[in-house]
Structure 1
Amino acid sequence: MNAALACFAALSQATRLETIKLLVRAGETGLPAGDIARRLDISSTLLSAHLTKLNHAGLVTSRRDGRSIIYRADYDTLRALLQFLMAECCSASPAIVGDLDVTAFIEGASQ
C-alpha cells in the first residue's frame, strides 16, 4: 500500500500527470528531458524536480544517452498501481475488474 500511496502523491500534481501521459505515449523509447520540458512549456529545473518525484515513486526510469537523459514510463509500476486500485478499491468485483489479474494484490494486501 505504501508504494501505491507514493504513486498517488506523485501523480496528484498536474505537471507530473502530464509528464506521465507524455511518457506513456512515447513508448519504450521514452523522451529526452529537454523535449519533455519543451512540450510542457516549463523550465528544465522545474521539470527536474517533477521527474525526481516521479522517479522516487517508481513511475519513471531514466538512462543516459550521451549528454541527454532519456526518461520513460515504468509500465510495470503503472500496471501494478491499476491492479492495486482494482483489488483494493473495487474489492476485486468481477463486474468492475473484468479479466484484470488482481490476485497478487489481494494476497499482498494483508502485508
Structure 2
Amino acid sequence: MEKTDAIVALGALAHGGRLDVFRLLVRAGPDGMAAGEIARATGAVPSTLSANLTVLSRAGLVSARRDGRSIIYAAAYGQMSDLLGFLVEDCCSGKPEICAPLAATVGKACVAEGGRC
C-alpha cells in the first residue's frame, strides 16, 4: 500500500460514524449488509449514512453491490489487510516480541470471526 492510500483510508476511518459502520461491516462478514440494516444497527439517518458509505467506498474500505432493490455493502478485507500491513510494516526492528501481542490479538479476532481475516 502506498502512503497516500493509507492516508486516505485512515482519514476515512477518523470519524466516529464511519468507524462504527466499517467495524459493523467487518463483523458482518463477506456477505455484507443492506444499507437499511446498517442504518438501523448504527442509528444513522439515511443522508449521513450515505455520505459515510461514500467516503468509505472512495477509500476502498467498503464495496457495494445491488441485490434487487437493495444495495449491499461489505468490508473490503483486502484493503483492510493492506492498511494493517502498512501500519506494522516496519514494526519490531528485528525484535519480534514487540509485535507478538498484536499478532496474538489479530489471531484471536480471526478465530472469533470464524477465520474471516
Q: TM-score range by the shorter chain?
A: 0.7 to 0.9
- Contact in 2 for aligned 1:31/1:70 (Cα 8 Å): yes
- Tell me if 1:23 matches 2:25: yes
Corresponding pairs, count: 99
C-alpha displacement of 1:97: 3.7
Percent identity of paired positions between Structure 1 and Structure 2: 46
Q: What is the CA–CA distance in structure 2 between the aligned matches of 1:38 and 1:18, rounded to whole Å?
A: 12
Measure how far apart 1:91 and its partner are: 5.5
Which of 37, 48, 51 is 2:50 aligned to? Answer: 48
State the 4+ residue runs in structure 1 displaced beyond 3 angstroms. none
1:12 to 11, 14, 21: 14
Distance 2:98 2:60 in 1: 26
For residues 26 and 93 of structure 2, the distance between their equivalents in structure 1, rounded to whole angstroms, comes to 26
1:61-94 Cα shifts (integer Å, max 9, x gaps): 0000011000000000000011000014x26542
Q: Contact 1:10 / 1:54 at 8 angstroms: preserved in 2?
A: yes
Output the TM-score relative to the length of structure 2: 0.78
Q: Secondary structure in 1 aligned to 2:74?
A: strand
Deviation at 1:96, TM superposition (A): 3.1
Structure 1 unmatched ranges of 5 or more: 101-111
Secondary structure (helix, strand or coil) at the match of 1:72 reads: strand
Distance 1:92 1:19, change over 3 A: farther
Q: How far apart in 2 are the matches of 1:92 and 1:55?
A: 33
Unaligned runs of 5+ in 2: 104-117
TM-score (norm 1): 0.82
Matched to 1:28, the amino acid is P
What is the letter of the counterpart of residue 9 of structure 1?
G
